[in-house]
Structure 1
Amino acid sequence: MKRLAVYCGSATPADPRYLELAETIGRDLAGRGIGVVYGGGRLGLMGAVAKGALDAGGEVIGVIPEALASAEVANHDCTELITVSGMHERKAAFTRLSDGFVTIPGGVGTMDELWEAVSWAQLGYHAKPVGLLNAFGFYDHLIAFIHHMAAVGFIRPAHQGIIIAEPELDLLLARMAAHVPHTPIFAMKSSDL
């Protein structure tokens, strides 16, 4: 994996562990020679991921919608800052530019990015690993809900392993590197659906 899209919040939570985690992730990815593709902002966890990677000499590609760039939240320190017209183009660029996806703590926008990566993988628009870093147990309830969706039958057995969840970055990256693409919906027979 040469580049990973990192999905995370633009907010700054009161608990300092989240900013420290984000900066450490950026630094660790750069130390492994993995470039960061992210939302292009300078605030919150987004800014911390970029800072960590840049401080460690890593490549950072920011992808930011025009509306946010003009609101003066763009991080002009990025190796490359790409301005796109909107959120759909942003997520398409994340997919095009990266070899996989890592989601760390965040809010609604982070969930939107994660679910689109999962949905596109399920359908067959990409075959890249989708990682979820469950630091501090932040995603415990989400992981339980994913298991519930699978148990009820809303996630097919072939797609139950799309999200690769681990509590530590080393474990997550190792599993992502060993990722074997599943059979996408586009390649399934109607009897499998």
Structure 2
Amino acid sequence: MSQEELLVLIYKKDERAFTHLYDMYSKSLFSVINVLIKNREEAEDVLQEVFVKIWKNIDSYNESKGRFYTWILNIARNTSIDKLRSKNFNNSQKNLSSDNFVNLLDDSNKLTNRIDTIGIQEFVKKLKPKCIEIIDLLFFKGYTQQEASEELAIPLGTIKTQNRNCINDLRNYLKI
């Protein structure tokens, strides 16, 4: 089936066209999405969303403004970017908490990791509880200072000051 024939069927909302559309473009669109998303499962979800958008918004495609492939590629790219910017996606991609990090090292059977674990556990115990909480959000979970401020219900300026103080505490412990 040619692209022109496919477009006619899509405009008519012929269900056979959806299968042809998917067969023709899914691999190339998935490649673009996967490069941006960097998570196969999430990329597959975005791919499905892209095909639904193509199907529902076919009337907005204008041949005089560009090729069909360019149009669907832009839909894939924009949907991927929207996904990357979404709060749920960002929260799902946060790193493990510091407790999980220490536990992962605890579970390891390698001698060097066990030695590191002892140092990390003792080091973490020396920090103030508020420092542990702030460092966990900013460094282990990847929050921005603004997000940490909102999460902890602390003014942004206070988060910045406490973060700086906590980093200084860490430096002092490392000198010992």
TM-score normalised per structure 2: 0.26
| Larger helix percent | 2
TM-score normalised per structure 1: 0.25
Higher relative contact order (CA 8 A, sep 6+): 1
